[in-house]
Every structure is written in C-alpha cells, then in structure tokens.
Structure 1
Amino acid sequence: MRTRRENRGRNAAAANRVALIGAAREQFASEGFDASLSAIARQAGVGQGSLYRHFPDRVSLALAVFDDNVTALEALAATPASTLDDLLALITEQTAASVAFIDMLHASDEDPRLRDVVGRVRDLLDGKLRAARHDGRIRPTVTADDLLLAVRMVAGLLAKSVPGERAELADRAWAMLRPAITG
C-alpha cells in the first residue's frame, strides 16, 4: 500500500516552485530541452498538477530555469570593462553546463516569449560587437546573428559530447571559428 504524502497546502507553493526549477535545471542539463516533464515533477517531489500550476507549459518552465543565465549575461554586459570575448565565453560556459539553453533559443521561432529572450541575448551581443568593431578586433561584416549562429554551431557540437569533454571541445571549436570572425 502506498503511503500518501501530507498535503502542505499553499505554504508549500514557493518551495515547490524552487524544487521544480532545480529539478528542471538538472533534467535539462542532462536530457536537453525535451526532458520529460513527468521526470522533472518526480525529481522535485511534486505531482504533475503542481508542476502545471506553476508552469503551464514547457516554455514557461524553461524561461524560469534560464532566466538566471540571461540575467548573468546582462550583468556581465553591463560591466564597462567586459568584452565580446567575455560575453561569448560566458554563453559557451552556460551552454557547456546545459545545452538545453541553446535548444531553448532554437525553439524561439515557435514562441514569442522565447523570441524575447533571444532578442535580449542578441542585443547584448550587438552592444559588445559594436565596441569590438570600433577597436578593429572584429570583421566589419560580422553581425550579432552571425555570432548567434556560431554559438549554435558550438552548442550543436557540445550537445553530442560527454559533459566532461565539453569545455575542451568548446575551446577547440572557438579556436577554429575565431579567425572567421576576427579576420
């Protein structure tokens, strides 16, 4: 006979939300953007109903999980001494930790909420790109969309690799891409 968990009611809502985001972060990191929502709810120790009360769909959950990523990118970009290389390095680090972040950005064609996130990242890249162009460190024809394409190329490689090898592979991929970007 299965033991029924005590219903903690409304007081558990905040804790359940935190548990769901944590579980989703882990599941997305290991399984990608298409990770099982049932597995996320199980890992968080809540029922599917609780998951859907907090996050009505996969995109809502992904946005909650990856909001920290975009916030970290925005904080770095706001630092006057930061460079385009610094921003690309952080995006690459985030991608190595969870290729689902890039999967989410790929899915942006289907959902306007994701387009907004991609727009935020594109704007950050564009701001640092202008400074790099001004300093002569980037080809004048390179755009923020080109950089997003390069990030997606690196992410595609990382998605097919073992987590422990991702940092080295990312470094090697950027070493090959950098000459095309910098001239």
Structure 2
Amino acid sequence: MPAKTNRGPVAGPANRRALISAARTVFAESGYDAPLNAVARRAGVGQGSLYRHFPDRVSLAVAVFDENIGELEAFARSKRSSLGGLIELVIEQAIVSTALIELTMNSADDERVRVLGERVAALVDEVVAVERDRGRIGAEVDSADVLLAISMLAAIVSRTPEQDRRSVAERAWALFPASFAVTVHGAGMVE
C-alpha cells in the first residue's frame, strides 16, 4: 500500500470537516469514552491532524454542536419556524449526538460550551417571540421554559437505548404542549 501524500495546509479545512463528521459517527457508535484515535482513523487523517484541529474532546464536541446550532439558527430564522419544528430538529440532533450531549453537559463550566448555550438561548428567544406573535404559545411561557424542556428532552434521549430514542423523545415532548398552550398534532409532536 503506497504511503499517503502529505497535502500540507491546503488539506486543513477538508480534514477538519472529515474529523467533525467522523466524531458524530464514532461517538454515536461507541459513546462518550470512544478513543479519539478512532475518530482520526474514521476521518482518514493522522492523530496529529486531529489534535491540531481539536486539542481535546471538548473542542471536538463544540465543533459538532456548533454545526448543530447553526442548523437550529437557520430554522429559527426561516418562514417555517415553529416551536414544534424546533423541538423536532433538536430531537433529531439529540438522537445521533447522545455522547456529545453528555460530554458538553459534563463541561458546562467551559467557556466554549457556555457560548453554545448562549446561542441556543438566543434562537429559542426568536422562536418563542414568533410563536407568541402567532398566538400559538401562552403569554406566561418564556424562553427559560422552552430551554428547560429542551434540556430535559436531550438528557432523557442521551440515556435511552438507541432503538427507543425516537419514541421516548416523542412521549416526553407530548407532556409539554398543554403547558405551552399550543396545538398537538400527529404522534405527540407540536406543529
């Protein structure tokens, strides 16, 4: 087998993207304690490249969540934005990112993780304001309530066996609509 050609700095952005993608997969398959060399192997890069981009586990988790939050921010600013849609997207992300949820929960005092939390709070503020303007959420409901619901959902999903995550998330979310004064449709999810 021929040795890999070192492409130098031009490979950096592609390596970073490959590492983030690999981290999603490796942590989803092997959990929080998955060896970081497995991430590098899956990405097809050397361990040195991994540590150049992500010097620790939290850095890697922050990069994955940064992308996840980018998706949530785009949704919150879209015309189809709704509380139920936001929660559905959070659930989809949580189902495949359970180990990363645990990792960031354990690192809540880390400034990098706090910044992510601030971004989530800001996008939830946007969605709550839109839902309130549309008359689909009670005036007594504030962003802190929605953030609490999201945290509870993420926590329960992260501790549920993979095959049961979707149904458990839907059951858990079904408990909130009456409190938020929104209409429930379908399998317990909010429109």
Q: Same fold (TM over 0.5)?
A: yes
What's the offset of the Cα at 1:91? 1.0
Three-state SS of the structure 1 residue aligned to 2:136 is coil
Question: Contact 2:102 / 2:158 at 8 angstroms: preserved in 1?
Answer: no
Partner Cα separation in structure 1 for residue 14 and residue 29 of structure 2: 23
For residue 59 of structure 2, what is the aligned residue in structure 1? 60
Cα distance per residue 1:16-46 (max 9 Å; x no partner): 3233222111122234444321221232233
Q: How many residue pairs are counted as aligned between the two chains?
A: 181
1:63-102 matches, cutoff 5 A: 63-102=62-101
What's the offset of the Cα at 1:101? 4.7
1:12-31 matches, cutoff 5 A: 12-31=11-30
Partner Cα separation in structure 1 for residue 104 and residue 61 of structure 2: 10
Q: Unpaired segments of 5 or more residues in structure 1?
A: none
What's the offset of the Cα at 1:82? 1.5
Partner Cα separation in structure 2 for residue 141 and residue 36 of structure 1: 45
For residue 142 of structure 1, what is the aligned residue in structure 2? 141
Report the more deviating stretch, 95-104 or 62-71.
95-104
Cα distance per residue 1:119-169 (max 9 Å; x no partner): 111111111112323444333333322222212222222222232322222
| Percent of residue pairs bearing the same amino acid type | 45
Structure 1 residue ranges, 4+ long, deviating more than 6 angstroms after superposition? none
For residue 35 of structure 1, what is the aligned residue in structure 2? 34
Q: Unpaired segments of 5 or more residues in structure 2?
A: 183-191
Matched, 1:157 2:119: no
Q: Return the structure number with greater helix share.
A: 1
Cα distance per residue 1:56-110 (max 9 Å; x no partner): 2222222222322111111111113321221111111111122245335524532
Distance 1:101-1:178 versus aligned 2 partners, 3 A rule: farther
Q: Which amino acid aligns with 2:26?
A: Q
Question: Contact 1:32 / 1:103 at 8 angstroms: preserved in 2?
Answer: no
Q: TM-score, normalised by structure 2?
A: 0.79
For residue 6 of structure 2, what is the aligned residue in structure 1? 8
Distance 1:47-1:73 versus aligned 2 partners, 3 A rule: same
For residue 50 of structure 2, what is the aligned residue in structure 1? 51
Q: TM-score, normalised by structure 1?
A: 0.82
Partner Cα separation in structure 2 for residue 90 and residue 38 of structure 1: 30
For residue 170 of structure 2, what is the aligned residue in structure 1? 171
